[in-house]
Amino acid sequence: MPEVVPHRPGRAVGIDLGARRIGIAVSDSAGTLATPRGTVVRSGDVERDRRALVDLVREEEAVVVVVGHPLSLDGSRGPAAVAAEEEAEALGGLLTGHGVRVELFDERLTTVSAHQALTAGGTKGRNQRAVVDQTAAAVMLMAWLDGQRSSR
């Protein structure tokens, strides 16, 4: 079990895990705004993908990584939620020595919200596929940031 890292202010990285791509978003250091950062295309090598995420988190000097937890609409844990839990635990183990904590956050409907936002902004079809993962990560991270502010 990774050690518990206390909460401290700083940049957050949001991760939206997908089967083919991992969407990445980053907050500002004040924790008020989440911005899409890019995607990591799955290489087929889980360890290589994790190292890429750890390198990105360290590059951004993040203090917390928020991993999207894709619960079912009824709140139950399906295979994707279990996989996200395992991924969060593995990342937590890799990041603890760097003082970065890893949290799961309910991401239900973030991809739907991302598609709606992209469509409203004029991005359509194939162009959406290129950015929907990072946009979903930003939607999820923004919801997490909002929750952090309201709990203070």
* pLDDT grade for 100, boundaries at 50, 70 and 90: very high
| DSSP designation for 98 | G
pLDDT tens digits, 75-89 = 889 999 999 999 999
Please compute the mean of the pLDDT values over residues 96-117 and round it to a whole number: 79
pLDDT reading at 27 higher than 50? yes
Q: Given this model, what pLDDT does residue 127 score?
A: 57
Could you give phi then psi for residue 47, rounded to 5 degrees? Answer: -65, -40
- Sorted by where each begins, the domain ranges of the chain are 11-146
Q: Given this model, what pLDDT does residue 125 score?
A: 64
Please compute the mean of the pLDDT values over residues 93-122 and round it to a whole number: 78
Structure-token match 């409203």, residue found = 120
Q: Given this model, what pLDDT does residue 108 score?
A: 73
Q: How many residues appear in the chain?
A: 152
DSSP assignment of 16-79 equals EE-SSEEEEEEE-TTSS-EEEEEEEE--S-HHHHHHHHHHHHHHTTEEEEEEEE---TTS---H
Sort strands 11-17 and 21-27 into parallel, antiparallel or unpaired.
antiparallel
Q: Which fold has domain 11-146?
A: Nucleotidyltransferase; domain 5 (3.30.420)
pTM of the model: 0.83
